[in-house]
Chain A
Amino acid sequence: GAVVSQHPSWVICKSGTSVKIECRSLDFQATTMFWYRQFPKQSLMLMATSNEGSKATYEQGVEKDKFLINHASLTLSTLTVTSAHPEDSSFYICSAPSGTASGTQYFGPGTRLTVL
């Protein structure tokens, strides 16, 4: 089946630095990708919808200047956490719809961010 990869799988950074997370669809094209955040023992919260060739759509309460999303190609979306702080530590997960009528979405394995 289709695969979505994320890189890195985990990252530790110092407070105040920026971190970039990549989400790639490996064998299919995705004009749309979704970014979620999951805190420990909690559910996935949608952060934003990444759109190829246009600006991302952010959910209410998500700071677009802090979480920069760039959908550079039909197979790559990046999430940059700018000026990261300890409260940004979380599990970041991306997904991409298959583009077929199956309604299937493929999830990446996630990226664990720890901000010291």
Chain B
Amino acid sequence: AQSVTQLDSQVPVFEEAPVELRCNYSSSVSVYLFWYVQYPNQGLQLLLKYLSGSTLVKGINGFEAEFNKSQTSFHLRKPSVHISDTAEYFCAVSDNQGGKLIFGQGTELSVKP
């Protein structure tokens, strides 16, 4: 069975500071990894995804993530955050492209001026 653990439930950070949101997964088969962002009372928006190839994945809004198979991690990073990045971030895993997603618990990113 697959599972996803997001190690931080809340991450407060000041504007223009770097941020890392941590995600670890477990899976017995090949994995496809995703990061989604959810703004209040809205649906999910895809930030980035890892399907294969380069382990460093760049997404929208300046975010990037690195797939580390040995550490079973897929941490999300941004070198300089903005107030508008305040949202809930979800890491998710699937065992096939377009298959059902298993989500982590979510990390609330709060960017303060």
- Which of A34, A103, A112 has a CB less than 8 Å from the CB of B49? A103
> A residues touching B (Cβ–Cβ < 8 Å)?
32, 34, 36, 42-46, 49, 93, 95, 97-99, 101-105, 107-110, 112
Check B97–A109 contact: CB distance below 8 A.
no
Distance in Å from the Cβ of A55 to the closest Cβ of chain B? 16
B102 touching A110, Cβ below 8 Å? no
CB distance from A100 to the nearest CB of B (A): 8
Q: Is the CB of A103 within 8 A of B100?
A: no
Would B101 and A105 count as touching, CB distance under 8 A?
Answer: yes
- The chain A residue with its CB closest to the CB of B36 is A107
| Sample (9) of A-B pairs whose CB atoms are under 8 Å apart | A34-B100, A34-B101, A44-B44, A44-B101, A97-B98, A102-B97, A105-B46, A107-B36, A107-B45
Contacts of B49 in A (CB 8 A): 103-104
Inter-chain residue pair count (beta carbon < 8 A): 55
Q: Is B13 positioned at the interface, with any CB of A under 8 Å from its CB?
A: no
| Bound-state Cα–Cα, A99 to B97, Å | 9
Does the CB pair A43–B90 fall under 8 Å?
Answer: yes
Binding site secondary structure of chain B: loop
Partner of A43, one of B45, B98, B106: B106
Sample of 6 more A-B contacts, CB < 8 Å, known A93-B43, A103-B94, A110-B43: A43-B105, A46-B102, A95-B101, A98-B98, A105-B98, A112-B41
Q: Once the chains bind, are A46 and B101 in contact (CB under 8 Å)? A: yes
Contact between B98 and A103, CB atoms less than 8 A apart: yes
Closest 5 CB pairs of A and B: A97-B98, A103-B97, A109-B43, A107-B44, A107-B43
B99 pairs with A42, CB closer than 8 A: no
Closest Cβ of chain A to B104, distance in Å, is 6
